[in-house]
Structures are given as C-alpha cells and as structure tokens.
C-alpha cells in the first residue's frame, strides 16, 4: 500500500486510496484478496471489506466486500 501511494505524496486523493485498496498485484496475497481455489478451504482467505478514512473531511468510506467489486458507502464522523 505504501509503495502504491508514495508517488501521490502531497496530493493524495480518495481515488488514489481506492485504487490502492483494489490492487491485485501478488495474487493470491494481494491487498485485495480473493479465495485461491488451489488452497484447501481452511486456508483460503479473502478481503471481506475495506475502510478508508478522509481525516480532514471527517468521512469514513466502507466497502462491504472486496473493494474491487463493491462500492464505498460514506459515513460522516
């Protein structure tokens, strides 16, 4: 996540955070994980949700499920 966001340092936007949360590099051990059918069922992992917080806007964005397949819902803090 740090490597994905570093190029945007100083101008980080919600779109950058969202794109990083959806990253699949290094599958099956990516940030956004999906069950690996080659693994036994007890060892399969997946991303079941994502939370991104905009501190200055005091807004929490929540994706219910893998962020690559689910929209974020915003909640004011």
In this prediction, residue 29 carries a pLDDT of 87
What 14-17 contacts at long range (C-beta under 8 Å, 24+ apart), as own/partner pairs, is 14/52, 14/54, 14/61, 17/52
The one-digit pLDDT tens for each residue of the chain (77 residues) are 999 999 999 999 999 999 999 999 998 889 999 999 999 999 889 999 999 999 989 999 999 999 999 999 999 98
Distance CA 39, CA 19 (A): 27
Of all helices (H) and strands (E), which one includes residue 62?
Answer: strand 59-63
């Amino acid at each position: 996540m740090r490597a994905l966001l570093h190029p945007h340092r100083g101008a980080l936007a919600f779109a950058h955070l969202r794109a990083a949360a959806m990253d699949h590099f290094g599958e099956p051990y990516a940030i956004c994980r999906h069950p690996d059918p080659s693994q036994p069922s007890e060892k399969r992992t997946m991303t079941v949700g994502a939370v991104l917080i905009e501190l200055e806007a005091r807004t929490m964005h929540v994706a219910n499920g893998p962020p690559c397949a689910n929209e974020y819902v915003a909640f004011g803090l």
